[in-house]
């Protein structure tokens, strides 16, 4: 069965520092991988996704993620954190054309 | 495009009562999903519709849960004989096509927060 594991339920970084949120997936078929973000009191929205092709995927708000098949990873990064990046981040995988399976989430806090 | 609407925003009920939630997807979206989210967890898949057909239902979903999308537009999720463990945020999402397509994504509603006393 397809699944994702997010390492670290809470990550705290200083403003301007590198953001790294870790995600490892398990899939018996080539996966489609996603990062969604949930800002306080808002619905989930897509940050970026990997389907096929280029393994480095760029998303909104300066985030990017790299699909590494050999490591079964899809870590999310941003070179310089902003206070507005504070949110809950969810890695997700879809094993088929239908449902998306979400990880348990990582809460990102930004220190001034 | 008015987004995905869910009603009500909050529902408080007593254990044993039945509750029904409604979701109105984005008008041209033929795919509709229900998820459940508890505090500190990611959304948990419940069920998926393509038009009016319910194509997948989570094996974790109790028989007390039922969902419909009678005309391929809005959907309802009913929970019968609610239990305290049903307390959660119930999320609805919609999309036009399948998630493997480059420009496809899920559009989520703000959810219905259920509290079972």
Per-residue pLDDT at B100 = 67
Per-residue pLDDT at A8 = 92
Beta bridge partners of A91: A35
Distance set, CA A43 to CA A40, A51, B51, B112, B117 (Å): 8, 23, 23, 11, 25
Per-residue pLDDT at B47 = 94
Q: Which of B4, B42, B99 sits opposite A103 (nearest CB)?
A: B42
Rounded to the nearest 5°, which phi and psi values hold at A54?
-55, 130
Q: Which residues from chain B sit within 8 angstroms of residue A92, using beta carbons? A: 42
Q: How far apart are CA B45 and CA B105, in angstroms?
A: 16
Per-residue pLDDT at B96 = 87
Q: Which of B41, B106, B110 sits opposite A100 (nearest CB)?
A: B106
Which residues of chain A are under the pLDDT cut of 50? none
Q: Which residue has the higher pLDDT, B99 or A88?
A: A88
Confidence of residue B89 (pLDDT cuts 50, 70, 90): very high
Indicate which of B42, B43, B50, B112 best probes the interface with A, i.e. most A CBs within 10 Å of its own CB. B42
Per-residue pLDDT at B117 = 96
Q: What is the mean pLDDT of residues B17-27?
A: 96
pLDDT tens profile B40-87: 899 999 999 999 999 989 887 889 999 999 988 999 999 999 999 999
Contact A78, A47 (CB under 8 A): no
């Amino acid at each position: 069965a397809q699944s994702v594991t997010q390492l670290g339920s809470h990550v705290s970084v200083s403003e301007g520092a590198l953001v790294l949120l870790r995600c490892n997936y398990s899939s018996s078929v080539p996966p489609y991988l996603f990062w969604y973000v949930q800002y306080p009191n808002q619905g989930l929205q897509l940050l970026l996704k990997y389907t096929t092709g280029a393994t480095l995927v760029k998303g909104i708000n300066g985030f990017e993620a790299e699909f590494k098949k050999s490591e079964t990873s899809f870590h999310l990064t941003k070179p310089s954190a902003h206070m507005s990046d504070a949110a809950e981040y969810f890695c997700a995988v879809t094993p088929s054309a239908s449902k998306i399976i979400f990880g348990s989430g990582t809460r990102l806090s930004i220190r001034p | 495009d008015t987004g995905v609407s869910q009603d009500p925003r909050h529902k408080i009920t007593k254990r044993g009562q039945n509750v029904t939630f409604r979701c109105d997807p984005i008008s041209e979206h033929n795919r509709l999903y229900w998820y459940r989210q508890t505090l500190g967890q990611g959304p948990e898949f419940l069920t998926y519709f393509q038009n009016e057909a319910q194509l997948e239902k989570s094996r974790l979903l109790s028989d007390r849960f039922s969902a419909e999308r009678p005309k391929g537009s809005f959907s309802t999720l009913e929970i019968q004989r609610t239990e305290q463990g049903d307390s959660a945020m119930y999320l609805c999402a919609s999309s036009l096509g399948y998630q493997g397509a480059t420009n496809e994504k899920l559009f989520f509603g703000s959810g219905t927060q259920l509290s079972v006393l």
